[in-house]
Amino acid sequence: MNLDDFSDLIERPDGGVRRDAEERRERLIVPPGSLGRLDELGEWLSAAQQSVPVKAVDRPRVVLFAGDHGVAELDVSGRAAGSAHELVRAVLDGSSPVAVLARRFSVPLRVVDAGLDCDPELLPEPVVRHRVRRGSGRIDVEDALTAGEAEQAVRLGMRIADEEADSGTDLVVLGDLSVGGTTAAATLIAALCGTDASVVTGRGGAGIDDLAWMRKCAAVRDALRRARPVLGDQLELLAAVGGADLAAMTGFLLQSAVRRMPVVLDGVVSAACALVAQRAAFRAPDWWLAGQVSGEPAQAKALDRMALTPLLDQRVTVGEGTGALLALPLVQAAAALAAELPERAEEDGDGDQDGDGEPVSGGAETAGAETSA
């Protein structure tokens, strides 16, 4: 399997449709630019959907990939190593932040176990049936995955993307449920951006103290030494310093772009996977939105490299797709405004007055007719 093959499969959102959307925006009753970035969002959605006016985003879905990372054994996380299944259980029970928001926004939520380190019996079969392996290797001293496992994980992500696209999902909020995942993500971003460990290492979603941060820096530094020799092959890179969940998310992002299905990225983990995917297919980021600023320095590096500007800056560090889900109403609002605001009434040849010097009547009816058409 060669991830570079995706470069030939992924096309950019339709530029001609985007120009049509921009022209339509010029004709709306509110002045151009008065809706700020909502204008850009609406035009981007039109191009992605190949539709003018844009269609409502009414079938979104939250997709979360779960996994444990062996590097968490070094006490680099605020959570105990091998405890990611507790995060999954909280989501399934409806008691986690992303579950609360998904319930409030009426968005279905899907959890995919790519590499949890727990007995399968602890979680429902639909969640665990996709598992590639139990946990990932300690990336500072060993590979996270074998080459075969890395390919299996990428193909898992591709399969999930196909399932979502085939079921009619029109936008995905992507997140992770992991322990130790931010360490692997920081390593990937540092390797791909050519920076040092201290530049990309943050304090993770659970928050860590100074001593844990120094341990995390050391782990990223050691993992970087193992990552740099395989930078030329994205699959080898994911096997060396990624993990089953990160490899699956990378495959998901690439196949979503192939299927023209927009994705909203959450925090540093999804940003790292997106950066790996961009390395394989340079047009892929045109199908993604950055949901929010998490405050992780590695996320900022990755988004800057991909020229993605976050929609929100709420500094949500909890992960789980929570910050990206917060951005969903903004995307839906942009679609609604672009589709439902009426166009200005056309003026006649003499300007805005009829032959008697009186204002032309029927403008509202004309606008209403155009809108209903």
Residues in the chain: 373
Backbone angles phi and psi of 272, in degrees to 5:
-65, -45
Least trusted range by pLDDT, from 209-213, 253-257, 362-366: 362-366
- Residue 304 CB coordination number (10 Å): 11
CA distance 155 to 238: 13
Name the average pLDDT for the chain. 90
Q: How far apart are the first and last CA of the chain?
A: 48
CA distance 46 to 340: 13
pLDDT digits (tens, 9 = 90+) for 212-255: 899 999 999 999 999 999 999 999 999 999 999 999 999 999 99
How many Å is the Cα radius of gyration of the chain? Answer: 23
Supply 310's token pair. Answer: 């976050």
Amino acid at 121: E
Domains annotated for the chain, with CATH where assigned, are 3-55+336-347+359-372 (1.10.1610.10), 60-331 (3.40.50.10210)
- Whether 59 shows a pLDDT value over 90: the answer reads yes
pLDDT digits (tens, 9 = 90+) for 112-146: 999 999 999 999 999 999 999 999 999 999 999 99
CA distance 115 to 135: 5
Supply 325's token pair. Answer: 């889900």
pLDDT band at 347 (very low <50, low <70, confident <90, very high): low
CA distance 148 to 324: 31
Question: Which residues are known catalytic residues?
Answer: 320
The per-residue pLDDT for 319 is: 84
Q: What is the pTM of this model?
A: 0.90
- Residue 294 CB coordination number (10 Å): 32
